[in-house]
Amino acid sequence: MTATTQTTSRRVAVLAIGDVTALLVFTLIGLANHKDGITASSVLKVMGPLVVVGAIASAIFGTYRRPGIGTLVPAWLVTVPIAILIRKAIFHTPTTWSSTGIFIGVALAFTLLFIAGWRLVARYTL
C-alpha cells in the first residue's frame, strides 16, 4: 500500500466516522427533545435505517470515492427520506403520514446542518 493510498483510506474512514457521528448527534438531540428516552434500542431504531441506507446510497453515488458536495447531497437526499419510511414501516413511528412528512422535512434540514458542519471542519483539518 502506498503512502497516498493510506492517506486516502484514512481520510475516507474519518469522513465516514464523522458522518455517522453527525447523525448520532442529530439522533440524540431528537430523542432528548421528544422525551422518547435515550436507550441503545431507541438509538438503534433511528440510526439503523440511516446508516444502512446511507451506506448503500454512498456506495451508489460515490460519496467517499469522490468526496464533495456533488456526491454528498444526492446520497443525503435519498438516505433521509428512505430511512424514515423504513423506520415508519418497521416501528410505526412517526405515527401518522402527515407527521412523517413533517419529520422528513425537519430531518433533512437538521441532518444537512450537522453533516455539512462536520464536512466543513473536515475540509480544513484533514
Whole-prediction pTM: 0.90
In the predicted model, residues of the chain with pLDDT beneath 50 are none
The total number of structural domains that make up the chain? 1
Backbone dihedral region of 96: left (phi > 0), alpha (psi from -120 to 50 degrees) or beta? beta
Q: How far apart, in Å, are the Cα atoms of 18 and each of 37, 97, 98, 121?
A: 24, 31, 31, 10
Domain that residue 47 falls in: 3-125
Count of C-beta atoms within a 10 Å radius of residue 121: 11
Count of C-beta atoms within a 10 Å radius of residue 58: 22
